[in-house]
């Protein structure tokens, strides 16, 4: 009930006439949220170093570099993994480290770019930075005073 009320309020916000073109963005975020809310594997951390610098860490123990794919598509970071060669089950008395196939999606904000991905000791670290293009950065506009030229006697 609370979630439905919240979702209705959010939808009202996106129907505001001053937010032109945001409904597609809301639909994209909603789809990612629905997909990820059903999946808890692999566990992950999101780190914020500053307003422009982030990192994402995924626990991918048991996966090799060539079994993990990191892709950016349509404003989403998609990380997937699949074991290429099955391990011999005969040797396991107990199997507590999961190595099942997975796909995790993360919505990227405006101007967010994935810089690199590293794997170390079973942790995949993805570095994400906000890179604002020069033409999108705030700039001061010079005001030219034409009235001084038009006055007689000057």
Instruction: Provide the pLDDT for residue 20.
Output: 56
Instruction: Provide the pLDDT for residue 109.
Output: 87
Instruction: Provide the pLDDT for residue 14.
Output: 55
Question: Has residue 71 been placed in a domain?
Answer: yes
Instruction: Provide the pLDDT for residue 95.
Output: 78
Pair (13, 48) in one structural domain: no
Q: Which residues of the chain, if any, have pLDDT below 50? A: 1
Task: Identify the CA nearest to 125 among candidates 69, 59, 49, 80.
Answer: 59
Q: What's the total number of domains in the chain?
A: 2
Instruction: Provide the pLDDT for residue 104.
Output: 92
Phi, psi of 9 (to 5 degrees): -65, -40
Check: CB of residue 129 under 8 Å from CB of residue 113.
yes
Question: Has residue 152 been placed in a domain?
Answer: no
Instruction: Provide the pLDDT for residue 19.
Output: 58
Instruction: Provide the pLDDT for residue 70.
Output: 97
Instruction: Provide the pLDDT for residue 58.
Output: 96
Pair (32, 98) in one structural domain: no
């Amino acid at each position: 009930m609370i979630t439905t009320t919240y979702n209705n309020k959010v939808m009202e916000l996106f129907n505001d006439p001053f937010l032109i073109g945001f409904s597609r963005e809301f639909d994209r975020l909603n789809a990612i949220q629905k997909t990820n809310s059903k999946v808890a594997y692999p566990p992950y951390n999101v780190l914020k170093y500053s307003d422009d610098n982030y990192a994402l860490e995924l626990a991918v123990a048991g996966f090799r570099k060539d079994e993990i794919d990191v892709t950016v598509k349509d404003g989403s970071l998609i990380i997937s993994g699949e074991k290429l060669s099955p391990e011999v089950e005969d040797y396991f008395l107990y199997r507590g480290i999961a190595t099942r196939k997975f796909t995790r999606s993360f919505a990227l904000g405006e101007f967010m770019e994935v810089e690199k991905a590293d794997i170390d000791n079973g942790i995949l670290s993805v570095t994400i930075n906000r890179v604002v293009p020069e033409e999108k950065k705030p700039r001061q506009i010079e005001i030219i005073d034409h009235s001084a030229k038009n006055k007689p006697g000057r």
